[in-house]
Amino acid sequence: MPHISVIIPVYNAGNYIVDTLNSVLQQTLKDIEVIVVNDGSNDQSLAECYRLQEIDKRIIIINQDNQGVSKARNVGKQNATGDYIIFIDADDELDCRMLEILYTQARKTDSDISVCGVDRIFEKKQEEKQKYHCNYEEITVDQAIEWLLLGQKIESGAWNKLFKASTIEDVHFEEGKKINEDKYFVFRSLLKSKKIVYCAEKLYYYYCRENSVTNQSFSERWFDSLYFADRIYEELKGRNNLEVFARYQLLIAYYTVLRRMYPFRDQYKKEYQLVIDKIKSTSFKSVLSYMDKKQVFGVLSIKYCILLYKFMRCVSK
């Protein structure tokens, strides 16, 4: 049984998958299996994966018709045999010690989830850094959820987190959704956890591509973010401070969709009005007063006030 199962969903990632796989295969922690789930690619992705599999038998390839990244991740998870599981995007890369550091942290602290920092890269990275501070902190579930909802230290993506396989056995990616399905998976995983360990070292290299979903203009897939924001809020109702943070991320989600939908509001008249009504019915004051009282937001609270100001200008036109 390998220490870690690395799950990589692949769809038409032929330009990147070799670099991604090499960054995984060259990890200092060698006891891993690499499960590549080919999600119906029609480019050279599959051929490149088979070529690398001939060189390194730790690669396991699963083929399926195109069913989306959530289905691919779930299939990979079902076939994983490692004590821990990590999900990697097919166009990103890892620092050579990322898995060793996350695994060591998880074992040393008996944590359910081990998290590292993320380096967002807009062009090819330079020579890999070789200095590792690796100072880590153990955090509670509530603290981790707070950071997740506020967009702070806990990223919404699943890719910079090592999950204990037994902890996420009953947690799955919701299929058929296109945006924030990974955030909801992380949220549900945190609820299942007892302890999380966090290292600020930026060990995951996230490449910001111009054609990514979040860089595209408005489409109906953006309603998925509202669906998950609503679900998170409903699940945190009555959990004291966490409910306030859930309301905050709910407002952020609805405002973001409203802002993106605004140029297309004539095409989505009914949905546009529903988003406005939702924002108006959500209590701003309780969120802002709690922010000020706890004094944990700083610049974030200023950003929030600017957001509300823009919103009021937007809906008054």
For 132-170, what is each residue's pLDDT tens digit? 677 889 999 999 999 999 888 999 999 999 999 999 999
User: Do 161 and 86 form a contact (C-beta atoms < 8 A)?
Assistant: yes
Give the CB-side neighbour count of residue 151, counting CA atoms within 13 A. Answer: 12
Residue found by looking up tokens 């922010």 in the block = 291
CA distance linking residue 198 with residue 152, whole number of Å: 12
More confident residue, 212 or 16: 16
pTM of the model: 0.90
More confident residue, 249 or 25: 25
State residue 191's pLDDT score.
Answer: 97
User: Do 146 and 229 form a contact (C-beta atoms < 8 A)?
Assistant: no
Secondary structure of residue 116 in the 3-state scheme: strand
Secondary structure of residue 43 in the 3-state scheme: coil
Whether 309 has a pLDDT exceeding 70, the answer reads no
Supply 111's token pair: 């944590």
Sign of CA dihedral 38, 44, 50, 54: negative
Mind listing the pLDDT tens digit for each residue in 111-135? 999 999 999 988 665 555 555 677 8
In b/e form, how buried is each residue of 217-240, taking b as 16+ CB within 10 angstroms? ebeeebbbbbbbbebbbebbeeee
Task: Label residue 83 left, alpha or beta by phi (over 0 means left) and psi (-120 to 50 means alpha).
Answer: alpha
State residue 303's pLDDT score.
Answer: 57
User: Do 181 and 174 form a contact (C-beta atoms < 8 A)?
Assistant: yes
Closest among 213, 244, 214, 246 to 229, alpha carbons compared: 246
Closest among 55, 19, 53, 15 to 36, alpha carbons compared: 53
More confident residue, 106 or 311: 106
pLDDT above 90 as % of the chain: 66
Mind listing the pLDDT tens digit for each residue in 223-233? 999 999 999 99
Q: Whats the size of the chain, residue-wise? A: 317
State residue 245's pLDDT score.
Answer: 87
CA distance linking residue 205 with residue 193, whole number of Å: 25
State residue 142's pLDDT score.
Answer: 95
State residue 244's pLDDT score.
Answer: 84
Mind listing the pLDDT tens digit for each residue in 7-63? 999 999 999 999 999 999 999 999 999 999 999 999 999 999 999 999 999 999 999
Whether 306 has a pLDDT exceeding 90, the answer reads no
CA distances from 140 to 186, 244, 266 (A): 15, 18, 45
Where would I find the H helices in 151-268? 181-192, 223-236, 241-261
Whether 259 has a pLDDT exceeding 70, the answer reads yes
Residue 265 makes CB contacts below 8 A (sequence gap 6+) with: 272
Task: Label residue 295 left, alpha or beta by phi (over 0 means left) and psi (-120 to 50 means alpha).
Answer: left
Whether 78 has a pLDDT exceeding 60, the answer reads yes
Confidence of residue 222 (pLDDT cuts 50, 70, 90): very high
Task: Label residue 12 left, alpha or beta by phi (over 0 means left) and psi (-120 to 50 means alpha).
Answer: left
What's the chain's average pLDDT?
88
